[in-house]
Structure 1
Amino acid sequence: MKIMDAQEIMDLIPNRYPICYIDYVDELIAGQKIVATKNVTINEDFFRGHFPGNPVMPGVLIIETLAQAASILILKSEEFLGKTAYLGAIHKAKFRKVVRPGDVLKLEITMVKKKENIGIVQTQALVDGQKACTAELMFVVAERDEKI
């Protein structure tokens, strides 16, 4: 069941095509947990160069996809509504499985800590129930038009 579709996601976070990677949100407990989906297709721009004849989703874009799902979780928290979440740090990132066209990335993010304008989340990207990537991400939250 879809809790949020692509348009609702774009209403919340600033990412747009071709770098809005979340297709929909499956589950959301504001301030606690989110499960979101990214359908990986051969039509993605990055597959033209990474790698010709052997398409693989770049690890940095898996992290970006996790960060977008995490920012939805953070910005759905009551104290951060109407703000913007900026990725501040990536810790303990591990890549365990290659992600290819046709895969469905299930993104599971759990809030670890919220303090003032900081959010820390534990993330994992799964393909067919197997971990493709795990990481701890830290976000700085600011007003939408404020520069940090």
Structure 2
Amino acid sequence: MINIMEILKTLPHRYPFLMVDKVIELVPGESAVGIKNVTINEPFFQGHFPGNPVMPGVLIVEALAQVSGILAFKSGVEGNTVYFMSIEKAKFRKPVLPGDTLQLIIKSIQKRGKVWRFSGRAAVGDNTVAEAEFTAMVTDVAVVEER
């Protein structure tokens, strides 16, 4: 198991954008399962939606991507930032609500150096709530430029 302290050493993300509480399974280069405990204290619930709190689908995909980043880093990929390159086949099946434990299931589909392709599935209990395929790149390059 990878606890929150190890996740903080692995990923550059911080509150309120860190979407993984722990990793309960990891097979380097192949797969990982992370956990996000969804609480009513999440800052996005203030606006999504007042009186009907639902976790935004894009943040579920972000949580999947963060577990993918942990998988890549723990598989020996060098770098300190993971950037999305593409998101495909995203489907949202059921709402994620405060009190849910979100299971983030990742499988590596392909890897070429620092570029990885993943399939991800988010589940609450036995129910799939979201799924997507995505490509990401691990790099040391910061994408900050003046506009």
For 2:132, give the aligned amino acid: A
Match of 2:90 in 1: 93
Correspondent of 2:139 among 136, 139, 142: 142
Structure 1: 5+ residue runs without aligned partners?
none
Query: So what's the TM-score if we normalise by structure 2?
Result: 0.93
CA displacement 1:29-68 (0-9 Å, x = unmatched):
1111000100000010000111011000011111111111
Pairs within 5 Å for 1:1-80: 3-78=1-76, 80=77
CA displacement 1:48-98 (0-9 Å, x = unmatched):
1110110000111111111111111111112x1444321111010000010
CA distance in 1, matches of 2:53, 2:110: 36
CA displacement 1:89-113 (0-9 Å, x = unmatched):
1010000010000111000000000
Correspondent of 1:124 among 106, 121, 126: 121
Q: How many residue pairs end up in the alignment?
A: 143
For 2:85, give the aligned amino acid: G
CA RMSD of aligned residues (A): 1.1
CA distance in 2, matches of 1:142, 1:17: 21
1:112 aligns with 2:112: no
CA distance in 2, matches of 1:142, 1:15: 14
Structure 2: 5+ residue runs without aligned partners?
none
Query: So what's the TM-score if we normalise by structure 1?
Result: 0.92
Is contact 1:126–1:132 with CA below 8 Å preserved after alignment? yes
1:116 Cα deviation after fit: 2.2
Q: Which deviates more, 31-40 or 134-143?
A: 134-143
Is contact 1:75–1:84 with CA below 8 Å preserved after alignment? no
CA distance in 1, matches of 2:142, 2:7: 22
The percentage of aligned residue pairs carrying the same residue is 46
